[in-house]
């Protein structure tokens, strides 16, 4: 490996080609299969994903953690007053990108983003460590703070507020679920002849196609 980006390349050889005859009719079994491999082989954070949103037409991305998934979609949790949540409130479209470098695999998912039910958010919040629950109350996420001490003072106030009591979920914190209508599965292959498999939802039916690398 050299310092010159022009010369920084590898040949992707870890996986067999994706054969069309082996692909499922919808994307969820394929996602689940790849995700199970990532759970076993990626450490830490196999559930890390880039969430991309729009603000006034400007794409914005950040890494969040997948916390729930089913055929309804992919759920992450955040402060509803945060920048990403406000962007979603203004334009409820987004995308997720999973990139597992050592597996030579990437998945892009696009869809609409909705709030999950309060009951679901309550259940997840109460499963979090106490420090994380206090942090959710204390942090005015995405707002400017002058110093680290300001944040630490807020934490102490919340600790005092809930002294001897259960730290329950603040109403401005909870889950958001991306409900997908598009998946692209990318798998590296030798000589840059990668596999790219797309699933698109068309009138309730998943349509599959292959893209050139």
Give which of 183, 39, 19 is closest to 100, Cα–Cα: 39
- Give the number of other Cβ atoms within 10 Å of residue 131's Cβ: 11
Give the pLDDT confidence of 50-65 residue by residue, as tens digits: 999 999 999 999 999 9
* Per-residue pLDDT at 191: 96
Class of CATH domain 9-126+172-210: mainly beta
Question: Residue 123: phi, psi to the nearest 5?
Answer: -60, -45
User: What residues form DSSP beta bridges with 207?
Assistant: 200
pLDDT of residue 3 exceeding 90: no
CA-closest candidate to residue 52, choices 1, 9, 4, 111: 111
Looking at residue 2, its pLDDT comes to 65
Judge whether 177 counts as a catalytic residue: no
Q: Choose, from 154, 192, 196, 210, the residue flagged as catalytic.
A: 192
Tracing tokens 């196609």 back to the chain, one arrives at 209
Residues 171, 104 contacting (CB under 8 angstroms): no
Query: What is the pLDDT at residue 117?
Result: 98
Average pLDDT over the chain reads 97
Sign of CA dihedral 99, 102, 103, 104: positive
Residue 1 has pLDDT above 90, yes or no: no
What values do phi and psi take at 73, rounded to 5? 155, -160
Give mean pLDDT, residues 98-111: 98
């Amino acid at each position: 490996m050299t310092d010159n980006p022009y010369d920084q390349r590898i040949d992707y050889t870890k996986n067999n080609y994706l054969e069309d005859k082996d692909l499922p009719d919808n994307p969820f079994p394929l996602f689940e299969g790849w995700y199970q491999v990532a759970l076993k082989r990626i450490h830490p954070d196999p559930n890390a994903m880039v969430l991309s949103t729009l603000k006034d037409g400007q794409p914005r991305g950040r890494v969040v953690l997948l916390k729930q998934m089913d055929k309804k979609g992919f759920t992450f949790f955040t402060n509803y007053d945060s920048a990403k949540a406000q962007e979603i409130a203004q334009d409820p479209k987004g995308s997720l990108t999973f990139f597992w470098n050592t597996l030579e695999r990437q998945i892009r998912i696009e869809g609409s983003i909705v709030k999950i039910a309060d009951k679901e958010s309550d259940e997840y919040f109460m499963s979090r460590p106490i420090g994380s629950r206090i942090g959710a109350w204390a942090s005015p996420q995405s707002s400017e703070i002058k110093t680290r001490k300001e944040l630490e003072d807020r934490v102490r106030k919340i600790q005092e507020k809930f002294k001897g009591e259960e730290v329950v979920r603040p109403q401005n914190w909870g889950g958001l679920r991306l409900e997908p209508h598009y998946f692209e599965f990318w798998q590296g292959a030798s000589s840059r002849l990668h596999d790219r498999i797309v699933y698109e939802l068309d009138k309730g039916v998943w349509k599959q196609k292959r893209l050139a690398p």
